[in-house]
Chain A
């Protein structure tokens, strides 16, 4: 049966991928390791507890500089995400320090002193960062712009430069495994990639050395430190765990329909496989009159 050939090819391709890992390590820059993500591959789904921990890291660490403007508070209680209770999200929104700029009932944008009018957030509002605009962010951050993190996990990837002869097999391996977590692998490597600069590298003022960042000099200081976030569920408070959890959370903000997409995907695949088989049998029967 034609439809079963890919499975066997996948095994062959997979074996080649493992045997050629050393090849792939060539090229420039440090090799970014692939992590095991609960949401990775064609089967993966988000781990609710991990997304909740990841949100906690975002809230207590990242949100000091970065916004999530494409995500609304209400998304945090929707299925396929962290799934916080609706009431907790309402409270969270109301207490979010970065309020929503809005004109008042009189149609005024600014108050008596000229300051922008703001109101507390509702669940339908976006999760804003601390800065009103890019200029304000740059002014506060020594010229650097902390990007909005809503789709950062999709906007980053790991560039691989394997030997041309193994390239097609690596590609096939990724296609059969459903691998598209390059963004998450990069973010995790970046967050855990802070190190002391080698002796021959001069780090510019206000910059920090990172092994995976292109150019190795990054305006963001190492954001995570062991024990800086107190997990409620007893997960070890390590930098690796913080990085892993917040990366998972940002993968969800970048692709909130992932769980539903893959679930429907399997239903579609099942339907297509069965229908293809039936159509093939029908075709054989029709053509059997000829040969």
Chain B
């Protein structure tokens, strides 16, 4: 919360010495120990901590893997097999890293849907939300680059398909798209040169991501956390100190998440991947069915929804460009959500109409994910087009219109009233 002053008191001489020179312990104490958190946070609010864990786990396992991995087109595939077979616990590191990427996305999607449901993007949290959108984009870029590294068939052809998207810009300015694609590839096709630079960027971006995450947490601790009622903290009884209250709940949430993580890492390490990536990249053989990892499927469905025509509207030579713009637009539209939503009320708990549209939107995303895994023909294309339209209608029409026409339910007077009911019983947490 803005204006929160750390109550840190250095106890030892050593602590005092540091506090006068670099008060990092004071900063940490103020941010993560006595920081006031709403007393009504539910388990959906544990995903911030879970995501911090995922980021650190990916960096640690990634650094270990990089010690044994060889980023060259002739050696990459073999070095992954070397890690799986000959490096001590290499199979574990590799499974944790590959499964960890999927877990990271599960957590981030829950985190985003939670933000959408409870209106966590509304003032004064617009910058916090936009930093989150930037984090999502960086995560997607990092995951995409990382999927290239095993240099299997799906790595190779996934990169080929996705980098080729930029060539759609040729319809705006001849040569622009092709130029960008060749610049990305470092040549006239996806090759070892591409793999080499993707490895370099895959190692770089997580640290950029960490920087933006720090800004995200800074913005969070300036605006304060939202909560299931969407009300601001108005009185001392509305909040509890982060430690031990929020921290004890965060760690329970994190361990429940780890149970799922471990289930996949130990019993289903390949379930979320694709069998074709166990065949070494071969530029001369195209896999029958190129699909991205599951966490990109909804966006892939949006991309492919723009065939020669979209719901009967002919697109001609612009089809590919529209597909690419729609795919990137489907993520960028999130950045405008703070201004697209016109409601005075944050939480969907008190928004009888919007609540239904939220769940319809969640279904739309799952449906797009399913359609992204199917071949782009026949009835699948029609449904992908319908759901793509619904995806954008949610943001561009439903959000602004419902905020105006909807009569929200009566809000509780305060967070304390929402939790304890009745009048404002002032029960202070014992510090």
Contact B262–A272 (Cβ < 8 Å)? yes
User: Within 8 Å of chain B (Cβ to Cβ): is A225?
Assistant: no
Contact A273–B92 (Cβ < 8 Å)? no
For B185-212 the 0/1 string (1 means CB < 8 A from A) is 0000000000000000000000000000
The stretch of A46-54, A237-245, A276-284 that contacts the partner chain: A276-284
Contact B248–A286 (Cβ < 8 Å)? yes
Q: How many angstroms between the C-alpha atoms of A228 and B26 in the bound complex?
A: 77
Q: How many angstroms between the C-alpha atoms of A280 and B92 in the bound complex?
A: 28
Shortest A263–chain B CB gap in Å is 9
Contact B248–A156 (Cβ < 8 Å)? no
User: Within 8 Å of chain A (Cβ to Cβ): is B18?
Assistant: no
Contact B81–A70 (Cβ < 8 Å)? yes
Task: Say which residue of B85, B262, B265, B288 sits within 8 Å of A214 (CB atoms).
Answer: B288
Shortest B299–chain A CB gap in Å is 19
The stretch of B103-111, B137-145, B275-283, B407-415 that contacts the partner chain: B275-283
Contact B429–A279 (Cβ < 8 Å)? no
Q: How many angstroms between the C-alpha atoms of A256 and B249 in the bound complex?
A: 39
Residues of B within 8 A of A164 (CB): 370
Task: Say which residue of A175, A256, A262, A273 sits within 8 Å of B271 (CB atoms).
Answer: A175
Residues of A within 8 A of B267 (CB): 42, 178, 262, 265
Contact A273–B269 (Cβ < 8 Å)? no
Q: How many angstroms between the C-alpha atoms of A276 and B260 in the bound complex?
A: 12
Shortest A183–chain B CB gap in Å is 6
Shortest B147–chain A CB gap in Å is 16
Contact A279–B259 (Cβ < 8 Å)? no
Max chain A CB contacts within 10 Å: which of B39, B84, B255, B430?
B255
Residues of A within 8 A of B288 (CB): 214
For A227-265 the 0/1 string (1 means CB < 8 A from B) is 000000000000000000000000000101100011011
Residues of A within 8 A of B262 (CB): 265, 268-269, 272
Shortest A226–chain B CB gap in Å is 30
Task: Say which residue of A3, A75, A265, A290 sits within 8 Å of B245 (CB atoms).
Answer: A290
Task: Say which residue of B85, B91, B249, B427 sits within 8 Å of A261 (CB atoms).
Answer: B91
Q: From known contacts A180-B270, A269-B262, infer whether A70 and B275 are also in contact, taking CB-CB under 8 Å.
A: no
Contact A287–B275 (Cβ < 8 Å)? no
B255 nearest CB neighbor, chain A only? A276
Residues of A within 8 A of B430 (CB): 289
Contact A154–B270 (Cβ < 8 Å)? yes
Task: Say which residue of A179, A182, A280, A290 sits within 8 Å of B275 (CB atoms).
Answer: A182
For B229-267 the 0/1 string (1 means CB < 8 A from A) is 000000000001000110011011001101100110111
User: Within 8 Å of chain B (Cβ to Cβ): is A127?
Assistant: no
Contact A290–B427 (Cβ < 8 Å)? yes
Q: How many angstroms between the C-alpha atoms of A268 and B249 in the bound complex?
A: 21
Contact A167–B429 (Cβ < 8 Å)? no
User: Within 8 Å of chain A (Cβ to Cβ): is B268?
Assistant: yes
Q: How many angstroms between the C-alpha atoms of A275 and B255 in the bound complex?
A: 8
Chain B interface main SS type = helix
User: Within 8 Å of chain B (Cβ to Cβ): is A195?
Assistant: no
User: Within 8 Å of chain B (Cβ to Cβ): is A174?
Assistant: yes
Q: How many angstroms between the C-alpha atoms of A276 and B245 in the bound complex?
A: 16
Task: Say which residue of A70, A175, A286 sits within 8 Å of B244 (CB atoms).
Answer: A286
Residues of B within 8 A of A42 (CB): 263, 267
User: Within 8 Å of chain B (Cβ to Cβ): is A20?
Assistant: no
B237 nearest CB neighbor, chain A only? A290
Contact A276–B248 (Cβ < 8 Å)? no
Residues of B within 8 A of A155 (CB): 275-276, 278-279
Shortest A83–chain B CB gap in Å is 17
Shortest B261–chain A CB gap in Å is 9
Shortest A81–chain B CB gap in Å is 11
User: Within 8 Å of chain B (Cβ to Cβ): is A151?
Assistant: yes
Q: From known contacts A182-B275, A269-B262, infer whether A256 and B85 are also in contact, taking CB-CB under 8 Å.
A: yes
For A185-208 the 0/1 string (1 means CB < 8 A from B) is 000000000000000000000000
Residues of B within 8 A of A112 (CB): none
Contact A2–B256 (Cβ < 8 Å)? yes
Residues of A within 8 A of B289 (CB): 159
Q: How many angstroms between the C-alpha atoms of A273 and B262 in the bound complex?
A: 11
Residues of A within 8 A of B427 (CB): 290
Contact B259–A273 (Cβ < 8 Å)? yes
Q: From known contacts A70-B85, A289-B429, infer whether A178 and B268 are also in contact, taking CB-CB under 8 Å.
A: yes
Contact A272–B266 (Cβ < 8 Å)? no
Shortest B291–chain A CB gap in Å is 11
B250 nearest CB neighbor, chain A only? A283
User: Within 8 Å of chain B (Cβ to Cβ): is A157?
Assistant: yes
Q: From known contacts A42-B267, A257-B84, A289-B429, infer whether A280 and B279 are also in contact, taking CB-CB under 8 Å.
A: no
Shortest A92–chain B CB gap in Å is 19
Q: From known contacts A167-B370, A178-B267, A265-B267, infer whether A156 and B258 are also in contact, taking CB-CB under 8 Å.
A: no
Residues of B within 8 A of A283 (CB): 248-249, 251-252
Shortest B186–chain A CB gap in Å is 27
Residues of A within 8 A of B91 (CB): 257, 261
Residues of A within 8 A of B274 (CB): 157
Task: Say which residue of A167, A266, A272, A289 sits within 8 Å of B255 (CB atoms).
Answer: A272
Residues of A within 8 A of B256 (CB): 2-3, 276
Shortest A212–chain B CB gap in Å is 15
Residues of A within 8 A of B259 (CB): 3, 269, 272-273, 276
Contact B278–A279 (Cβ < 8 Å)? no
Contact B271–A174 (Cβ < 8 Å)? yes
Contact B251–A279 (Cβ < 8 Å)? yes
Task: Please list the 5 inter-chain residue pairs (A to B) with the smallest Cβ-Cβ separation, ordered nearest first.
Answer: A265-B266, A157-B275, A155-B278, A178-B267, A276-B255
Instruction: List 6 extra interface pairs beyond A175-B263, A175-B271, CB under 8 A.
Output: A178-B267, A262-B267, A265-B262, A265-B266, A266-B266, A283-B249
